[in-house]
Structure 1
Amino acid sequence: MSSDQTPSHTRLMYLGIGGLTLAALLVANGLASRSRHEQAVSQWTQAAALPVVSVFQPRQNAGGDTLRLPAHLEAWSKAPIQARVNGYLKSWQSDIGSKVQAGQVLALIDSPDLDQQLAQTRARMLQAQANAKLAATTASRWQHLLASHSVSRQEADEKQSNAAAAHANAQAAEADFARLCSLEAYKTIRAPFAGTITARHTDIGQLIKADTDSDTELFDIADTHQLRLYVPVPQNYASVVRPGMQAQLSVPEHPGQTFSARLMGNSTSVDPRSGTLMAQFVVPNPNDALMPGDYAEAVLAVAPDTHGVSIPASALIFRAQGTQVALLDASQHVHLQTIHIGLDLGDRLVVDQGLKPADTVIDNPPDALRDGDAVRLANQGAPHAAKA
């Protein structure tokens, strides 16, 4: 090897070493960058895998609540007016919507058959009375004859018995005549109480058949100076019904207007078919603003309860362990808490066991949420207003 080739060979060797070192550095840098990227992706994936939840704090039910329930109104008194005698309707004096007083004439029935029967019964009564008078006179005379021994005691006793029988027949005839006189009074249809005629089902000349299966009412009358409000209260709310309680009601035909009602009583039993307790209220109706048969919405006041807390119904979890809610601790881990619902108000619940106002409750908890799971707040770092 010549001396002029040695330096060239050395430079090539250094260049090769430098190239290998640079390549090694590039490879190491690429591997490190990839490792950092994979670690960032892993951290992002783990963070994204945490359920995102929103929370609230229960509030005490110290101010009370209101319960809105469907209800219906009925007349204070109502009755169908039916006929007690057969005949034809002669006339009517009161039509639908008429205000009537107790005893006021509503209609007249023409009953020729009853008139003839009454006349016949009167004649029989007079005949029986005459026979009884004659028998009594005869018995008295035979008693005088018995005193002079002109007749036997057997004959006198027979006359006395005949007089007693004739007197009994006269009394029976008088009772039958009084019965038909009472029926005769039913030819005049009168209002049983003061109220309003709500229906008329007859007209002049109509055949009236009383005491038959096809007998229909002639009029319907209702007393509406005050009404009865019937509110079916679900069993869960039965404790709300207390003596002397007041209620507010509204009806569709008077939007924005409310009426007051006072509790009269309740059925003291739960209907097994509907699971409700029937409460009855009285509603003054001096201006006839309310109508019987009306659908109404009743608003009942729920007494304040400082022992319970109020939460939205969306926070509930229904599982085999019972009714639960998900609580969030300071480390943002989930704890499933069993609760007892004291009162169900539809969209809100009053919980009397298992929750405190200081607890942090998860709203709309995911179905897959388990005890001890870590979660992430939807608006972490911002204050969370109570949604209950």
Structure 2
Amino acid sequence: MPSNTQRMGRKPLALGLIAIAVALVAAGVVSRRSQASQVKEASTPVVPLVSVLAVGQSNSASLELPARIEPWARAPIYARVSGYLKNWNVDIGAPVKSGQTLADIETPDLDQQLLQAKAELATARSNLTLAASTAKRWQGLLAADAVSHQEADEKAGDLAAKQSAVNAMQANVDRVQALQRYTRLVAPFDGVITARNTDVGALINVGGAVGSELFVVSDISRLRVYVNVPQRQVAAIKVGDKAELSVPERPGKTFTATVQSLSQAINASSGAMLVQLTVQNDNRELLPGGYASIHFDAPLASSALSIPPSALIFNKGGTQVATLGKDNHVVLKQITVGRDLGNALEVASGIDHNDQVIANPPDGVATGDAVRVAAANTAKGKL
């Protein structure tokens, strides 16, 4: 039998174990209640907070578009005869005058063709002389009834054939001589050499394919500027209008361009009309083939609407915006963007003045989703 002292020592130990057990049970209950609360909060849908702006009126009175610069006239110089380049007189960037010699081509094969053609012509002329004297002699014999009319006609026919042969040989000589004139390459107009694709001793072949030109002469004293104007703005552009042209290599400087012609047709693939402008380039500051920006001071349609770029939604449905519908529910609308103004986008179709556009639509937003509207951004304002 345990003594009283032993029983008294076991009692505090039992009480401690009971206290630990009670603490563990209490901790489990509290943890379970906390987890249940978190699950309840997670199951409650979160309504996103959005900013809403009224559709703004586009007040831009200008039109800025990308353009490309081309020379007023551009002539690729191709070889009309085969041979070897004997020499060239001008290099890229050199100014040239109309008729100035650019290069000379050696044509040994063509030279031999000319000698052959001249020899054949000489033979044909000798045969013609003989045929002419024979035909004349037979005409005299025919007058004396020494030969028949048939034989006299045969000699006259032979004379005509020999004359035709002489004419053909003469034409061949003229053809080869005409080709020999192309051994000298000349500039067709005043301009600048913008390309040289040959060198002394290079084999020259007759060609006309892109990339086979020997030189390129460009008139850059005046330039053509081509720009594609969207269909919505074509009515504001007319022949004689002025525009400002700027290029990246001349920051801060603008040039005056004049509308010269309009294609009078809309390109089906781009939805724009090609417009040609001209600009003087007396100081050679503009470079043909370069990129430029054209600024028209052209009034735009008064019905144009604008939205911020952040309002756009791109998904499988196309280009859309989220608008605020009844009871703060989202309504997605598909739109057509007219042009990008930088800090705003012109909308060609899809929304009207009464729509309230969500400026920051949440990811994955769909028609019917509920949203909370930030009170500070519900006021109607200009974009």
Taking structure 1 as the reference length, what is the TM-score of the superposition? 0.70
Provide the rounded CA distance (Å) in 2 between the counterparts of 1:333 and 1:210.
Answer: 75
Q: Which residue of 2 aligns with 1:240?
A: 233
Deviation at 1:122, TM superposition (A): 1.8
Q: Of 281, 301, 305, which aligns to 2:301?
A: 305
Per-residue displacement from partner, 1:164-213 (whole Å, max 9, x unpaired)? 11001000100000011101111111112332111223333434343599
Distance in 2 between residues matched to 1:361 and 1:216, nearest whole Å: 57
Checking the alignment, whether the CA contact within 8 Å between 2:259 and 2:276 is kept in structure 1 is: yes
Is the 2:62–2:295 Cα contact (8 Å) retained in structure 1? no
8 Å contact from structure 1 (residues 249, 261) kept in 2: no
Confirm or deny: 8 A CA contact 1:72 1:296 kept in the other structure. yes
What residue in structure 1 maps to residue 246 of structure 2? 250
In structure 2, the residue corresponding to 1:282 is in which secondary structure? strand
Residues 372 and 173 from structure 1, CA distance in 2 versus in 1: closer, same or farther, beyond 3 angstroms? closer
Alignment of 1:16-27 (within 5 A): none
Return the match for 1:77 from 59, 69, 73. Answer: 73
- The 3 A distance-change label for structure 1 pair 238 and 212 is closer
1:159 aligns with 2:152: no
Q: Which moved more, 1:83-92 or 1:242-251?
A: 242-251
Report which stretch shifted further, 221-230 or 298-307. 298-307
CA distances 1:54-108 after superposition (whole Å, capped 9, x unpaired): 3333332354353433x33232332332222233333322222122222221112
Q: What is the SS of the residue equivalent to 2:304?
A: strand
2:287 aligns with 291
Partners in 2 of 1:194 and 1:238 — Cα distance? 38
Kindly tell me: are residues 209 and 324 of structure 1, through their superposed partners in 2, closer, same or farther at Cα, counting changes over 3 Å? Answer: closer
Gaps of 5+ in 2: 1-45
Report Cα offsets for 1:237-291 as digits up to 9, x if no partner. Answer: 33323562655432211111223252633464334xxx46472423323322211
Paired residues of 1:50 and 1:376 also in contact (CA < 8 A): no
State the identity as a percent.
38
Q: Is 1:64–2:61 an aligned residue pair?
A: yes
Q: Which amino acid aligns with 1:326?
A: T
Identify the match of residue 123 of structure 2 among 127, 146, 149.
Answer: 127
Question: Where does residue 147 of structure 1 map in the other structure?
Answer: 143
Q: Which is further off, 158-167 or 370-379?
A: 370-379
Larger radius of gyration between Structure 1 and Structure 2: 1
Aligned residues: 328
Contact 1:308 1:352 (8 Å CA) reproduced: no
Please give the alpha-carbon distance, in whole angstroms, between the structure 1 residues aligned to 2:126 and 2:307: 90
**Unmatched segments (≥5 aa) in structure 1:** 1-48
Equivalents in 1 of 2:77, 2:261: separation in Å?
28
Q: Distance in 1 between matches of 2:123 and 2:102?
A: 37
Asked if the contact 1:52–1:377 (Cα under 8 Å) also holds between the matched residues in 2, the reply is: yes
- In structure 2, C-alpha distance between the alignment counterparts of 1:303 and 1:283, rounded to whole Å: 21
SS of residue paired to 2:145: coil
Give 1:221 deviation, angstroms: 1.7
Deviations 1:18-70 (A, max 9, x none): xxxxxxxxxxxxxxxxxxxxxxxxxxxxxxx765433333332354353433x
Deviations 1:317-365 (A, max 9, x none): 6789984542478xx8457374754624264123556422x66544223
- The aligned residue for residue 12 of structure 2 is none
The residue identity in structure 1 corresponding to 2:194 is T
Counterpart of 2:204 in structure 1 is 208
Counterpart position of 1:282:
277
Q: Relative to 1, partners in 2 of residues 1:374 and 1:91: Cα closer, same or farther, differing over 3 Å?
A: closer
In 2 relative to 1, CA 349–150 (structure 1 residues): closer, same or farther, beyond 3 Å? same
Cα distance change, pair 212–60 in 1 and its aligned pair in 2 (3 A): closer
Distance 1:315 1:209 in 2: 60
**Distance between the aligned counterparts of 1:209 and 1:161, measured in 2?**
43
Separation in structure 2 between the aligned mates of residue 320 and residue 158 of structure 1, nearest angstrom: 88
2 CA distance for matches of 1:53 and 1:142? Answer: 114
Distance verdict in 2 for CA 1:57–1:164, change over 3 Å: same
Distance 1:124 1:303 in 2: 74
Conserved? CA contact 2:77–2:213, under 8 Å? yes
Q: Does 1:270 align with 2:265?
A: no
Q: TM-score of the superposition, structure 2-length normalised?
A: 0.71
- Comparing 237-246 with 151-160, greater Cα deviation is found at 237-246
Aligned to 2:93: 97
Which of 133, 138, 158 in structure 2 is aligned with 1:137? Answer: 133
Aligned letter for 1:172? A
In 2, the alpha carbon distance for the partners of 1:116 and 1:50 equals 92
Structure 1 residue corresponding to 2:175, chosen from 176, 179, 195: 179
Contact 2:58 2:302 in 1 (8 A): yes
1:55 and 2:57 aligned: no
Whole-angstrom distance in 1 between the partners of 2:291 and 2:131: 70
Residue in structure 2 matched with residue 348 of structure 1 by the alignment: 345
Q: 1:370 to 1:151 in 2, by over 3 A?
A: closer
Q: Give secondary structure in 1 for the equivalent of 2:302.
A: strand
User: CA offsets per residue over residues 134-170 of structure 1, 9 Å max, x none?
Assistant: 3233323322321221211121011001101100100
